[in-house]
Amino acid sequence: MISHISGVAPESWAMRVAPFGTVREEATRKDALRVSRGRALVRITHASVGVTDALAVRGDYLMQPVPRFVPGYDFIGIIEHLGAADHPRLSVGQRVAGILPRMGAHATRISVAQSLLVPVPDSLDPVIAATAPLDAVTAQFALDALDTKSGSVLVQGAGGAVGAWAVQLAAARNLTVFGTASTRTRAVAESFGARVLDYRNPEWIDALRKMTNGGVAGVIDHTGRRDLQRVVMPEGRIVRIAFEGKQGHQRRATAAGFAAATLRRYARPAERICSTPMLVMLHRFAYRAALGDILDRLDSGTLTPPQPRSYRFTDYRKAVADVTSTPPGEKSVLVMGH
């Protein structure tokens, strides 16, 4: 059975990239909002905007190699209709969060698999909730991939979007957390308990080895630097969540980094890739558990979110342009107006 609420497809708008570097607000095709068995129609109320979106818009993101796509991985929204199925977790009118395996969240309504939806606690501010899904779940998955029960870890970019969550989550696991940061982001990392090293200091790796008596148990990294192997104990791991590249060459840097890290899976120290979109696609139960846990901790106050930096949906281009200059400790959030 395929249906729409009240039998009529509602109006919906999306920010579509076509060609690269250009974003247009377009009406969503009515057939794209059909709700079949196992899917839901969600009216999106809030969606985060991050560096990945800016890369994708300009055509420098590996997982969006051709234009005509809608950016945005994560969202907060309200279920307007459910396809035929018995899902006790979900109901019409319920506020939910989700991460898409492929982009598409920068829209006012989407048809989405019910297996991607996680209820948002009633008392949690949806703007606050919108700062968390992709970044916090990435941090959670990266820590799980480290498989470290004790000792110390290094978080690269500890004051950044994913790093700040990783520092908090690692500290909650009773791990000693070291982090790299710049002068600009240092205060954010330190506020969550990280012992911070300035990555611009050419001797920071030697300093960390000395501070840890030979190295940490694991590293969460977004740079792809090969010399990080020097700071990890032989039995430890490096988890790569991203790879740095020059503007215009990021897709190539990501592909090369992914291949190199895969080949070093059984090296000493070993390396792992943490791609949240891929994990969401392949491991729905683990994804829902991780996102649900993050939202519950936000609701209880045991995790501290970044300060939302709100933009109207119609100010989308400014939101994307501002991503690289967003102050430390803040997160850009679209507030839908349609």
260-306 pLDDT tens trace: 999 999 999 999 999 999 999 999 999 999 999 999 999 999 999 99
User: What does each C-alpha distance from 248 to 121, 188, 193, 258 come to in angstroms?
Assistant: 41, 29, 35, 18
**Which residue type, as a one-letter code, is found at position 74?**
D
Backbone angles phi, psi at 93, to 5 degrees: 90, -5
CA distance 126 to 323: 20
Residues 299-327: tens digit of each pLDDT: 999 999 999 999 999 999 999 999 999 99
For residue 144, which of 6, 239, 50 has the smallest C-alpha distance? 239
Strands laid side by side in the 176-181 sheet: 195-198, 176-181, 152-155, 216-221, 232-240, 270-273
Helix axes 133-146, 163-172, angle to 10 degrees: 50
The rounded distance, in Å, linking the Cα atoms of 337 and 108 is: 8
Bridging pattern class, strands 176-181 and 195-198: parallel
Largest Cα separation within the chain, whole Å, is 67
pLDDT per residue of the chain (338 residues) written in tens, 0 to 9: 334 444 445 789 999 999 999 999 999 998 899 899 999 999 999 999 999 999 999 999 999 999 999 999 999 999 999 997 667 889 999 999 999 999 999 999 999 999 999 999 999 999 999 999 999 999 999 999 999 999 999 999 999 999 999 999 999 999 999 999 999 999 999 999 999 999 999 999 999 999 999 999 999 999 999 999 999 999 999 999 999 999 999 999 999 999 999 999 999 999 999 999 999 999 999 999 999 999 999 999 999 999 999 999 999 999 999 999 999 999 999 999 75
